[in-house]
Amino acid sequence: MSLSHTPGWIARAQHEREIPHSEASALLGALRRLAEHNELPQAGTSDPPGPALSLAEAYRICFAITRKHSRSFYLSTQLLPREKRSAIRALYAFCRTSDDIVDQPGQNTTEALAAWVAMVHAPEAPRDNAVLLAWNDTVQRYAVPHTLPDELLAGIAMDLAVIRYPTFDHLWLYCYRVASVVGLISMHIIGYGEDASRYAIKLGVALQLTKLAIAAAAAIYRGILGKISANGYDVFQRRAYVPLAQKLLILWRVRRRLYEREQVSP
């Protein structure tokens, strides 16, 4: 079965693109049919099924998943109101679990993802699956459009088939799916202002494309601005620079921050 995507999507205008939601739907539909045809076991469930979980227990497990895989994200989300804090961690657990499925060694990743997609699209989540119980409640509570998690899953599916992208437009679609979509879903939970979506999409793509070198350069230049301020903005008599030891410390911090961000988004 081929998971490659079709080139049938076009740019609307400069810096704006038409999102091919129908393509994501077709891709995920193929995965669901694979799961049904092969009668695949449900991904992430035990055999036999475990005990039924309450919604509160499901959210507590999502808390634990977030705390285990990204302590910085867990700490920062402590500042949200309780209900939004629970929802954003359910989102994290859903993203983490979905991404981990295609990274597990020693299994047919296409079949594993197909089984997971079938579970995500099922009318009701298995009562012993904490992640999907909390995620389904979050989707309903915050009216998350179904196209967004579908785009995210389609981006994860692209990891199974696409090795190189022939054009930036094709790469842009992948970045949108695995990075921008996470931001868009977060906005539905946290709240956002008018016309914020277009900037969230651009920010997600930019973050996905940034390498360590660019992030380090930005942090070091920001450090120079701090030195200029400390020198009373006297750029004519005093040279503003970041010492080598501080540059190495900045580099270490940037690398750690990028690693932690990679744990948040698939």
Contacts of 127 by beta carbon, 8 Å cutoff, 6+ apart: 49, 52, 53, 133
Count Cβ atoms within 10 A of the Cβ of residue 177 and give its class: 0-12 exposed, 13-18 middle, 19 or more buried.
Answer: buried
Shortest CA distance to 153 belongs to which of 102, 108, 107, 203? 102
Question: Are 177 and 165 within 8 A, CB to CB?
Answer: no
Q: 3-state DSSP call for residue 36?
A: helix
Looking up tokens 């227990």, which residue turns up?
57
pLDDT exceeds 60 at position 8 = no
How many whole angstroms separate alpha carbon 110 and alpha carbon 82?
A: 36
**27-58 residue pLDDT tens:** 898 888 888 877 766 554 445 677 899 999 99
Query: What is the pLDDT confidence band of residue 135, given thresholds at 50, 70 and 90?
Result: very high
pLDDT exceeds 50 at position 12 = no
pLDDT (average), residues 190-200: 89
For the chain, the first-to-last Cα distance in angstroms comes to: 23
Q: Against a cut of 0.85, is the pTM above it?
A: no
Question: Are 186 and 90 within 8 A, CB to CB?
Answer: no
Radius of gyration over every alpha carbon of the chain, rounded to an integer in angstroms: 21
pLDDT (average), residues 237-243: 83
pLDDT (average), residues 172-183: 92
- The mean pLDDT of the chain is 82
How many whole angstroms separate alpha carbon 53 and alpha carbon 48?
A: 15
Q: 3-state DSSP call for residue 16?
A: strand
How many whole angstroms separate alpha carbon 202 and alpha carbon 175?
A: 10
How many whole angstroms separate alpha carbon 168 and alpha carbon 176?
A: 12
Q: Kindly give the interhelix angle for 82-101 and 130-141, rounded to the nearest 10 degrees.
A: 130
Length of the chain, in residues: 266
